């Protein structure tokens, strides 16, 4: 079974082994993994991107700069907590600091990209499971408190402690919601 996607105006298709081909020529130009992360060669340069659950395609590094906030809210636990639950804006300090922390600190770690990818695979499932239970407001309030503690650690330059707290909270949620 093949999948098709459009990236920067060019149509591509993917075979069962994850090979990416240009639609019009059939020339192999890259690979895609089972999670939708791809690497292709375009105009002599390697480019990376990601295909979301809803079929939208993003460039690497632009995964989180979506043009429709609602899509990120459905994928991101932190955005759901801040925007949908707490009524904050998409450019609130909490989200700005966490996005910078993700892009500048976590992504620079040897396993940083893997951590980010895992988060965006599992976070939507956690969000849905939290929303489906009767105590969603309590869970989201607690997450907002934890998020603000993490932000304070980042502001204090205590990045490794902030990451530890992120991982600890995420693991707790994974276990609680069976993801």
Q: Chunk the chain into consecutive blocks of 10 residues (it has 179) and report each block's average pLDDT, rounded to whole numbers.
A: 72 84 86 78 80 61 40 63 79 87 91 87 84 86 92 96 95 88
- Distance from C-alpha of 12 to C-alpha of 106, rounded to nearest angstrom: 30
Q: What confidence score (pLDDT) does residue 72 get?
A: 45
pLDDT at residue number 132: 84
Q: In sequence order, which residues have a C-beta less than 8 Å from that of residue 140 and are 6 or more positions away?
A: 80, 81, 85, 86, 130
Alpha carbon distances (Å) from 124 to 9, 70, 74, 156: 28, 12, 6, 29
Element (H, E) at 151: helix 136-155
CA atoms within 13 A on the CB side of 136: 15
């Amino acid at each position: 079974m093949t999948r098709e996607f459009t990236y920067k105006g060019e149509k591509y298709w993917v075979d069962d082994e994850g090979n990416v081909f240009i639609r019009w020529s059939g020339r192999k130009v890259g690979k895609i993994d089972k999670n939708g992360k791809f690497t292709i060669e375009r105009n002599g340069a390697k480019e990376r991107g990601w295909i979301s659950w809803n079929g939208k395609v993003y460039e690497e590094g632009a995964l989180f700069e979506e043009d429709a906030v609602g899509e990120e809210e459905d994928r991101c636990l932190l955005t759901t907590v801040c925007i949908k639950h707490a009524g904050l804006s998409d450019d609130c300090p909490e989200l700005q600091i966490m996005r910078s922390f993700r892009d500048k600190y976590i992504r620079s770690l040897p396993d940083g990209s893997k951590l980010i990818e895992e988060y965006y695979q599992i976070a939507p499932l956690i969000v849905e499971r939290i929303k489906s239970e009767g105590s969603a407001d309590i869970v989201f309030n607690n997450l907002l408190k934890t998020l603000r503690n993490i932000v304070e650690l980042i502001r204090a330059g205590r990045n490794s402690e902030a990451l530890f707290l992120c991982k600890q909270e995420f693991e707790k949620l994974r276990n609680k919601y069976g993801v």
